[in-house]
Structure 1
């Protein structure tokens, strides 16, 4: 769990070290909205937004900061803490969200 205030810098630091083909999952505290960030090629990232909207974004590393800033405002508007999971190598089954079981 990371603070939302420092989340952007933490995620960008993690993305620069992330190997090609691996991914990071960002979720709200309740785990009902998520951003899945995949390091697709050397400077290319794919971000799957799943929450208020379900959209796929393809961006370069230098565009990630601006996009994440807008996505944090849209998907995590009232969150103070964000869960960050490093999932390892990406496969298509990771795209489907697992809801928190009550």
Structure 2
């Protein structure tokens, strides 16, 4: 769990070290909204947004800060903490993860 105030810098730092083909999952505390960031090629990423909207974004590392800031405001508006999972090698099962069972 990371604070929302420092989440942007933490995610960008993690993305620079992320190997090609691996992904990171960002979720709210309740795990009902998520951003899945996949490292496709060198300096190129795909973000799967699943929450208020279900959209796929493509972005280079240059524009990632601005895009993530917009997505954090839309998907995590009232969150103080964000869960960050490093999922390793990407496969289709990771695109649709199960929500928390209550």
Place the TM-score, normalised by the shorter chain, in its bin. over 0.9
Unaligned 5+ runs, structure 1: none
Report whether the alignment pairs 1:3 with 2:13: no
Q: What is the number of equivalent residue pairs in this alignment?
A: 102
CA distance in 1, matches of 2:28, 2:90: 20
TM-score (normalised: structure 1): 0.99
* SS of equivalent to 2:41: coil
TM-score (normalised: structure 2): 0.99
The residue that corresponds to 2:82 in the other structure is: 82
CA distance in 2, matches of 1:56, 1:97: 16
Aligned-residue CA RMSD (Å)? 0.4
CA distance in 2, matches of 1:99, 1:19: 26
CA distance in 1, matches of 2:14, 2:75: 20
